[in-house]
Amino acid sequence: MTKAAPGPVPLHRLLLHLLPLLLLHVSPVRLSAQHCRPARYYGQIAENSPAGTPVDGVLLPVGSGGCTGADLNASLKGDYASHFRLVHLRGHRDHRDHRGHLGLVSAKALDREFIAMYELTVELPPRCLRRPAAVQVEVSDRNDNIPRFTSGNKTIEVDKLTPLGAELVRFDAKDGDAERNGRVTFYAAPESHLLHVVPQTGQVRLVGSLLGVSQVLVGLYVKDSGDVALISAPVFLRVIVRRSCRALRRPRALSEELSYTVSVPDHVRVGDLVFTVPDQRFEQRWFEVISEADSPVQIERDSGRLYLARSLREPAEVAVKIHNLRGGSGAGAPREMVISVLQNAPSPPHHFISGKNFRKS
């Protein structure tokens, strides 16, 4: 008895037999696209580099089948992705050892002050890239910003008895570069023996006596810390020295008078201490000079120290008044004395007083 020929296999049975084979070939590709994390790359390029400069550190391996016909630029996504281009590195002059890779090059000169870090993604067909790529590109700083002062020229007034070390004024400056290229240093040119500019802060401090000085003019600059330092345009500081009001008073009648002679050696300069007025009558006191406006000395109000205010052209007499701080009835009238100041005395440098104090008759 012959067997009947088998009939056609139903379609649903055929699909059941083929389904495992379909899943075996399709699922891995689909799962790879859905669950595989993108490869991450970090690159760097100097700002203001010309268009076409490769981004260091970004080399994307291309599949063995190549990436012919793929739209490389359309695959590059992210904010301002148009600032870059993907290129094949086959035979590229800077990457001859990286054939079969894609590289990233700049499409224009980049400015770090506009964007310092780019976040890009590359999505190509699987035959080009096995998985998407996330690319960070840092634009490294180039010293291309000249530092500048935030204010212009300044004119200030100071008292001629301003103590040494006092801050007279402060300057500020800005530099648009980053890190070391943006760190600034202040300085004066030419240097002044009266004023010191603090390099890190821009403070201007008094380091020399202003006695006998009417004004000081100094130019200030600021430079950055780049390998080739950039220097700002100058600003100028003018310091006008005020005369003390008490130096303008005329001599008055002296009620009780003492006399001293002070010999000033040749080596003494303007601003040096030449004499300290002695007084033991008042427990608390203050001093003032009541001579002409061009007095050769100035006195410290609290201590009685006399400083040379100008060069001596001829001997001079200075009237000094000593006031009792306690005041009140019975406190005693102010003491007054005359001090003769002489130049070119032969006395040793450490002996400024010659003669003895005495009471005039």
Q: Which amino acid belongs to residue 184?
A: V
Q: Quick one: pLDDT at residue 190?
A: 93
Interval 132-146 mean pLDDT: 89
Q: Indicate the residue type of 228.
A: V
pLDDT in tens, 244-289: 654 444 444 444 456 677 777 777 788 888 888 776 566 677 778 7
Sorting pLDDT into bands at 50, 70 and 90, what band is 325? low
The SS3 assignment for 110 reads coil
pLDDT at residue 177 above 60?
yes
Distance of alpha carbon 288 from alpha carbon 39, whole angstroms: 83
How confident is the model over 56-92, as pLDDT tens digits?
Answer: 999 888 766 567 666 777 788 999 999 999 888 765 4
* Lowest model confidence (mean pLDDT) among 150-159, 182-191, 287-296, 345-354: 345-354
Structure tokens at 23: 């899943």
Q: Is the model more confident about 117 or about 303? A: 117
Q: Using CA atoms in the order 270, 274, 280, 286, what is the torsion angle rounded to 10 degrees?
A: 0
Helices (H) and strands (E) in the chain, counts: 1, 24
pLDDT exceeds cutoff 60 at 33: no
- pTM for this predicted structure: 0.48
Q: What is the DSSP code string of 130-182?
A: SS-EEEEEEEE--S----EESS--EEEEEETTPPTT-EEEE--EE--S-GGGG
Mean pLDDT of 109-113: 87
pLDDT at 281: 62
- Rounded to a whole number of angstroms, the CA Rg of the chain reads 43
Q: Residue 4's CB: how many other CB atoms inside 10 A?
A: 6
